[in-house]
Amino acid sequence: MSRPDLADRDRTLSEVSVHVACVGLGFVGYNSALAFSHSSYPVVGVDTDAALIEAVRTGNSPFEAAELAEYIEDGTCDVTTRISDAADADVYVISVPTPLSADGSPDLSAVRSASRDVADVLDEGNLVVVQSTVYPGCTRTDVRPELERSGLEAGAEFGVSHVPERYSPGDDASERPTRVVGSIDASWRALTAELYEDVADTTMPVSSLEVAETTKLVENIQRDVNIALVNELAAAASALGIDIAEVIDGADTKWNFHRYEPGLGVGGHCLPIDPHYFRAAAEDRGIDLQMIPAAREINDSMPRRYADRILQTIGTIGKSPSSAVVSVLGVTYKPNVRDTRNSSAVELIGHLRDENVAVEAFDTQYPPGEEIEDTGIVNNPSAIAAVRNADVVVVATGHDSFQRFDPASLAAAMAADPILIDPQRALEQDAVDESELIRPRDVDPNWPRRQAAGPASGVPADGIEGDRRETDD
């Protein structure tokens, strides 16, 4: 496609040659560049981080995905720190971070900066796609004016679309999730949908930029609220002596029940952040949201709640925090990925250390002896090494490989009265039942499991569940 072909509404992408520039090569931008390269588009990736560019160029990217290096080697892809090197692109895909400011408000500085950079090289007939998560209205009111610094008019002379990112760390790289497409007008929407049909199994065009922006926020808000709900139910069920795990199993037999598991909260770069973007837009229009902030408060509080309950449990076995050892298995924010951003496990470790508790850790996503990001803890060589002489073991993030752990061996390596906290049942549960591991009633939402004699049976006065072989009938 030679400019101004994209502005020619009578032509389709199949009739032209399209060059794509991916602005921002973080996790989303990198995977976007990979997807377009895999679909035979010439691609240039742009990022201001020179070290990242060098890592990508040499096949040492920090992302768990196929390497762009093979496309760089064959000349169909290039990476650079200079936006001027992308001046020949026809499509600019912006995928830069949208974090929160120190006061919890949306931080759009990277999006605005990237938009200004694109404006410097924007030409008539180009298409700009925003993939970064933003609040409703941002693409129109914040991005568009920055792009129009080019002297071109959005809609008439260049296109602006919003296609929310849907890449998820740990997912199969071959997956091509449906992409929602919103644009400044119907013609640019059709063109953008045609482009994304080459990197997605299907697209869903929507009526406006704002609908597309809000779609991503609602996806994550719904999940955040449901996780907060099950965390609150788990806490109440534990106090009532009811096995929340068994309750969930029972409820899951109904056709319209959506299963969620309790845990230490939520992490990553989306769920803890996206609700704040929607809330900011709503409050700017005088709408007082209640459920969304409440869910955020519950999930944000979970690491602190677990830390407090662990400290209480340590006291019941006659130890002070400074004399206790807690081992955390799984530190990343979600299973099967090497990513500690906003990890609840990391926050839990911080709370325990603030109380002078000695903390060990093991995570299968890190080599033995390597420091786990954001913790200052050197990864143990094995789970057994991590739990040796520990008073409490917390399975904070249940990697699939944890199903192969032998609970009896973990218990044997720990101190007397070995306490297990495994809220998402990452370990093989029948093997846990047969081991010496103890679930504390006031910490683990799985307490008690299959208590036939009633909710209070087999529970010592100190609130710590006894040996499963003694209390199960």
Report which DSSP code applies to 141.
I
Which distant-in-sequence residues (6+ apart) come within 8 Å of 59 by Cβ?
67, 69, 70
Q: Are residues 401 and 297 in the same domain?
A: yes
Least confident of 13-27, 342-356, 363-377: 13-27
Kindly tell me the burial class for residue 94, based on how many C-beta atoms sit within 10 Å of its own C-beta (0-12, 13-18, 19 or more). Answer: buried
What is the average per-residue pLDDT within 255-270?
Answer: 91
Residue 456 lies in a domain: no
What does the pLDDT look like over 178-224, one tens digit per residue? 999 999 999 999 999 999 999 999 999 999 999 999 999 999 999 99
pLDDT digit string, tens, across residues 18-47: 999 999 999 999 999 999 999 999 999 999
H or E element that contains 217: helix 209-240
Q: Are residues 278 and 200 in the same domain?
A: no
CATH number of 380's domain: 3.40.50.720
Q: What are the strands, taking DSSP E only, across 163-223? A: 179-183, 203-205
Give me the mean pLDDT over the 280-287 stretch. 95
- Is position 449 within any domain? no
Work out the average pLDDT over 300-319.
91
Q: Which residues contact 299 (CB under 8 A, 6 or more apart)?
A: 224, 227, 228, 231, 265, 266, 271, 272
Rounded to two decimals, what is the model's pTM? 0.87
262 within 8 A of 233, measured Cβ to Cβ:
yes
* CA separation for the pair 379, 107 (Å, rounded): 33
Give the pLDDT confidence score for residue 64 in this predicted structure.
67
> Is the pLDDT score of 174 beyond 60?
no
313 versus 86: the higher-pLDDT residue is: 86
Name which of 58-67, 209-218, 270-279 the model is least confident about. Answer: 58-67
Output the six-digit token pair for 261. 């598991």
Same domain, yes or no: 299 and 415: yes
Is residue 335 exposed (0-12), middle (13-18) or buried (19+ Cβ within 10 Å)? middle
pLDDT for position 243: 86
Specify if 462 maps to a domain.
no
Say if residue 230 is in the same domain as residue 178: no
Q: Poorest-confidence range of 152-161, 176-185, 264-273?
A: 264-273
The helix (H) or strand (E) run that includes residue 138 is helix 138-138
Domain identity same for 235 and 138: no
Residue 344 lies in a domain: yes
Rounded mean pLDDT of 264-280?
Answer: 91
Q: Is residue 262 in a domain?
A: yes
Number of domains into which the chain is organized: 2
* 59 vs 430: CA distance, rounded Å: 43
CB 289 within 8 A of CB 282: yes
Which residues constitute the domain of residue 168? Answer: 13-207
The answer on pLDDT for 457 being more than 50 is no
User: How many angstroms from the chain centroid is the CA of residue 5?
Assistant: 38
pLDDT of 6 over the 90 cut: no
Is 453 inside a domain boundary?
Answer: no
Instruction: Indicate whether 197 and 236 sit together in one domain.
Output: no
Q: Region 125-149: what's the mean pLDDT?
A: 98
Q: Are residues 270 and 196 in the same domain?
A: no
110 and 227 both lie in a single domain: no
% the chain with pLDDT above 70:
88
pLDDT recorded at residue 239 = 84
The answer for residues whose C-beta is within 8 angstroms of residue 60's C-beta and 6 or more apart is none
The percentage of the chain sitting over the pLDDT mark of 90, rounded to a whole number, equals 74
Residue 453's pLDDT is 35
Q: CA nearest 243: which of 424, 463, 467, 444?
A: 444
Asked if 202 and 227 sit in the same domain, the reply is no
Q: What is the mean pLDDT of residues 161-185?
A: 85
Which has more pLDDT, 300 or 174? Answer: 300
Q: What's the pLDDT score for residue 12?
A: 61
Where residue 315 falls among pLDDT bands split at 50, 70, 90?
A: confident
Q: Which of 207, 237, 272 is the last residue of a domain?
A: 207
Tell me which of 472 and 141 has the higher pLDDT.
Answer: 141
Mean pLDDT of 355-359: 96
Average pLDDT over residues 273-296: 95
Total residue count of the chain as it appears in this document: 473
Residues 303 and 267 in one domain: yes
Question: Between residues 193 and 235, which one has the greater pLDDT?
Answer: 193
Other beta carbons within 10 angstroms of residue 213's beta carbon come to: 28
Pairwise CA distance, residues 440 & 463, whole Å: 7
Non-local CB neighbours of 249 within 8 Å, separated by 6+ positions: none
251 with 152, same domain: the answer is no
234 & 330 share domain: yes
Both tokens of residue 157? 């002379």
Output the furthest CA–CA distance in the chain (Å, rounded). 78
Residue 415 has pLDDT above 70, yes or no: yes
Here the tokens at position 417 are 């009265």
Amino acid at 356: N
Q: Is 41 helix (H, G, I), strand (E, B) or coil?
A: coil
Domain membership of residue 298 (yes or no) is yes
Q: What is the pLDDT of residue 381?
A: 97
Q: How many CB atoms lie within 10 A of CB 452?
A: 9
Least reliable range by pLDDT among 48-52, 250-254, 443-447? 443-447
Contact in structure between 223 and 334 (CB atoms under 8 Å): no
DSSP 332: S
Of 283, 303, 306, 285, the C-alpha closest to 293 is 283
Does 212 reside within a domain?
A: no
What does the pLDDT average to over 387-407? 94
Average pLDDT of the chain to the nearest whole number: 88
CA distance linking residue 98 with residue 29, whole number of Å: 13
Rounded mean pLDDT of 136-161? 98
**Per residue in 124-133, pLDDT tens?**
999 999 999 9
Compute and round to an integer the Cα radius of gyration of the chain. Answer: 25
Half-sphere exposure of 242 (CA within 13 A, CB side): 11
Question: Where does the pLDDT of residue 470 fall: very low under 50, low under 70, confident under 90, or very high at 90 and above?
Answer: very low
Determine if the peptide bond prior to 4 is cis (ω within 30°).
Answer: yes
Q: Can you tell me the distance from the alpha carbon of 114 to that of 165, in angstroms, rounded to the nearest whole number?
A: 17
Higher pLDDT, 464 or 416: 416
pLDDT of 471: 32
For helices 209-240 and 274-284, the axis angle rounded to 10 degrees is 110
Residue type, 372: I
